Structure 1
Amino acid sequence: MKSFLQDMMMNLARWMQGRYGNDSLSNGLVALGIIALLLSIIPGLDALSLLSFACLAIAIFRSLSKNFARRRKENDAYERVMKGPKRTYAIAKKAWAYRSTTRYFKCKGCGTALSVPRGKGTLRVVCPKCKKETTRKS
């Protein structure tokens, strides 16, 4: 049985040579497709099953494509769009993890996330990006 599975994996690897494979955009499309499929179970949201099918079909098409330049360009555009939400999520996750020892806030000048240690009284904070000075209670 083990040699059969190994042979199957080798055949699949050989077939995938020269094809684009998975990237961030394909993974995002698969996740969106699965979420849409799960939501389509709710009565009244039947149209989401079509969205789910379309997302999964596009993800498979992208993975099997041989046009590397076009797929890379699409993925780069996706990465540029997702840079902001990923950064916001990372800051929120960090703020939640260190909520007992650190207080996070945004600079009023440029919007950069700043932090001060909790329990130190009123502190003067200088933004490293725009050099705006803020007084903040920790």
Structure 2
Amino acid sequence: MNQMRDQFIRFMTGRYGADKLGRFLTAAAFVLFVAGLFIRNPLVDFIAVAVLILSYYRMFSRNIRKRFEENQKFERFCFKITETFRRLRFRFQQGMKFHIYKCPGCGQKIRVPRGKGKIKIHCPRCNTDFIKKS
């Protein structure tokens, strides 16, 4: 068993290996295979095999720099998506606890706690006072 492991380690030396994009492609191929069981369309199976081949091609590639750049682009794309959802979640949580008003003088956003009735709001930027219902 150790001999097979050593042979595999020697084979993978100088190759890129698995990364986040590779794991995503492998998972996508698995999902497509499962979907193909229910859809029964040969095109879905063909796409699943193509995605799996692409995943293994990236894993066994010796062009490490190019595979690294591909993974970085994928991670930047994932970060944009997760950051968008994180911001939406934060806005929703803030909206439950606070009202956000714009100052009529300068347009500065001011956060005010909900449920305090009519209050006088002071803008820290332009020192304008205005009355709003919280």
TM-score normalised according to structure 2 size: 0.66
Structure 2 letter corresponding to 1:105: R
* Unpaired stretches in structure 2, ≥5 consecutive residues: 102-107, 116-134
* Unpaired stretches in structure 1, ≥5 consecutive residues: 96-103, 107-113
Residue range with higher mean Cα deviation, 79-88 or 47-56: 79-88
Distance 1:15 1:28 in 2: 23
Residue range with higher mean Cα deviation, 41-50 or 17-26: 41-50
Q: 1:26-105 maps to which residues of 2 (within 5 A)? A: 26-88=22-84, 104-105=90-91
Overall identity of the aligned pairs, in %: 21
Distance 1:48 1:22 in 2: 24
Residues paired across the two proteins, number:
110
Instruction: Say whether the 8 Å CA contact 1:39–1:45 is kept in structure 2.
Output: no
Structure 1 letter corresponding to 2:4: M
Distance 2:99 2:52 in 1: 51
Structure 1 letter corresponding to 2:32: A
Shift of 1:10: 1.1
Could you say which structure has the higher helix fraction? 2
3-state secondary structure, aligned to 1:40:
helix
Structure 2 letter corresponding to 1:21: G
Match of 1:22 in 2: 18
Structure 2 letter corresponding to 1:60: Y
Match of 1:111 in 2: none
Runs of 4+ with >6 A deviation: none
Determine which structure has more spread, i.e. the larger CA radius of gyration: 2
What is the root-mean-square deviation in Å for CA atoms of aligned residues? 2.9
Distance 2:100 2:39 in 1: 52
